[in-house]
């Protein structure tokens, strides 16, 4: 037994964990694993931690910052993905985990998923709202174009401009429309036009291509530059079936660069025809007005007042005399009516007046000097002075006796 114990190797937990880690890392140096994300955490360090699960098991995963900076979409719980990485062991807890190097959405491409995520984000912020759209000017004198100077888009725009209205000035702000640096150049060009304020409308354009080719126009920095632009922006990216984030944010979306040029540049011949047509209408309206005024002038010349002005004035004088007489009669009549009413009211007032009562032999006695009417003898005392008002005159007396 003692010999057997000497031959037995006892591992520490750390030794065993390291041994298992080496075995796993050697056995699974690079594998693809499919599953659904759960317990997703984006750490402040920039590292991502989550679990992959299916109906039967769960696998812990870690994706460090250097790897996840290349992601074109944001992982979230419930998303089904395919991960590439290697199996390792986190020795501090003895957990085995997948160190993720790449992630691909299952069933939808990474770019398409990124497109949908950014579209939802900007839509919630209101960047697509119609209330922020600026009308496109009817006849701009200067058009700014943000595009590649060597692409088909600018050639189409210039050809259409020369054909439709050669007087319009086209200012090109050359940028890359494809590649890693394209998004920053496009955003900078949009902001530069706004800073210079030397154009009436702006066209952001490029020809057709794959989703990857058109991707700079799906970048957030470009979308926000378009939204912040004080100059109206037309997005003309790709073909008619292509839609980019720029299309949703811009004030107007044109299906192609050529369509954008035709939209923003009216046809000179059409404008000339319209001006001629409106000029003809204006001349006709003026002629009609002049004919009406001439007819009115002829009628006025033939009117009685101009043919016999003195007789007309005499007639008006007579009419004034008639009106004056009529007014006098009416005034006399009204004064008479209201005079009778006044006299009746005066008669009633005289009948009720104390003066009328005094004239009939009555008198009024008041206490002097207060002037209070004496209605009761008990209100007086001997030697009080009273004043008696008669129908004609008044006199004062002293009270000698009260009964």
Of residues 207, 271, 276, 216, the one with CA closest to residue 239: 207
Q: Six-digit token pair at 73?
A: 């979409």
C-alpha 249, offset from chain centre: 16
pLDDT the model gives residue 270: 79
Q: Please report the domains of the chain, with CATH numbers, ordered by start residue.
A: 2-107 (2.40.50.140), 139-266 (3.40.50.960), 359-398 (no CATH)
Encode pLDDT of 291-337 as tens digits: 999 888 888 777 766 666 777 777 788 888 889 999 988 998 898 89
Encode pLDDT of 235-263 as tens digits: 999 887 888 999 999 999 999 999 999 99
Of residues 133, 292, 328, the one with CA closest to residue 226: 133
Sheet holding 385-389, edge to edge: 364-367, 385-389, 394-398
Of residues 152, 159, 150, 225, the one with CA closest to residue 190: 225
What stretches in the chain show pLDDT beneath 70?
A: 1-7, 25, 107-110, 304-308, 355-361, 391
Global pTM value: 0.53
């Amino acid at each position: 037994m003692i010999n057997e114990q000497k031959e037995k190797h006892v591992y520490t937990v750390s030794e065993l964990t390291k041994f298992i880690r080496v075995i796993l890392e050697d056995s699974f140096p690079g594998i693809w694993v499919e599953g659904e994300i759960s317990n997703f955490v984006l750490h402040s360090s920039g590292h991502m931690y989550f679990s992959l699960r299916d109906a039967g098991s769960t696998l812990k995963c870690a994706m460090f910052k250097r790897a996840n900076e290349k992601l074109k979409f944001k992982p979230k719980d419930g998303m089904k993905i395919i991960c590439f990485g290697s199996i390792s062991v986190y020795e501090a807890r003895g957990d085995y985990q997948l160190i993720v190097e790449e992630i691909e959405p299952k069933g939808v491409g990474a770019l398409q998923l990124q497109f949908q995520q950014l579209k939802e984000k900007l839509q919630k912020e209101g960047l697509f709202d119609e209330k922020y759209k600026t009308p496109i000017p009817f006849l701009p004198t200067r058009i700014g174009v943000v595009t590649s100077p060597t692409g088909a888009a600018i050639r189409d725009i210039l050809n259409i401009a020369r054909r439709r209205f050669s007087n319009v000035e086209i200012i090109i702000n050359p940028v890359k429309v494809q590649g890693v640096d394209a998004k920053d150049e496009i955003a900078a060009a949009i902001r530069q036009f706004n800073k210079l304020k030397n154009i009436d409308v702006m066209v952001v354009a490029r020809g057709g291509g794959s989703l990857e080719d058109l991707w700079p126009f799906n970048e957030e920095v470009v979308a926000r530059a378009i939204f912040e632009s004080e100059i109206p922006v037309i997005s003309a990216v790709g073909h008619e079936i292509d839609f980019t984030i720029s299309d949703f944010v811009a004030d107007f979306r044109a299906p192609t660069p050529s369509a954008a040029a035709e939209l923003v540049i009216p046809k000179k011949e059409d404008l000339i025809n319209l001006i001629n047509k409106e000029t003809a209408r204006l001349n006709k309206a003026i002629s009609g007005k002049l004919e009406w005024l001439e007819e009115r002038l002829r009628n006025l010349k033939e009117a009685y007042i101009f043919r016999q002005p003195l007789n007309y004035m005499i007639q008006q004088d007579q009419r004034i005399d008639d009106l004056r007489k009529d007014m006098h009669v009416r005034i006399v009549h009204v004064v008479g009516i209201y005079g009778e009413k006044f006299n009746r009211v005066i008669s009633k007032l005289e009948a009720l007046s104390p003066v009328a009562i005094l004239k009939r032999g009555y008198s009024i006695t008041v206490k002097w000097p207060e002037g209070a009417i004496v209605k009761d003898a008990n209100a007086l005392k001997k030697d009080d002075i009273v004043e008696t008002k008669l129908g004609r005159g008044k006199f004062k007396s002293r009270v000698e006796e009260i009964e």
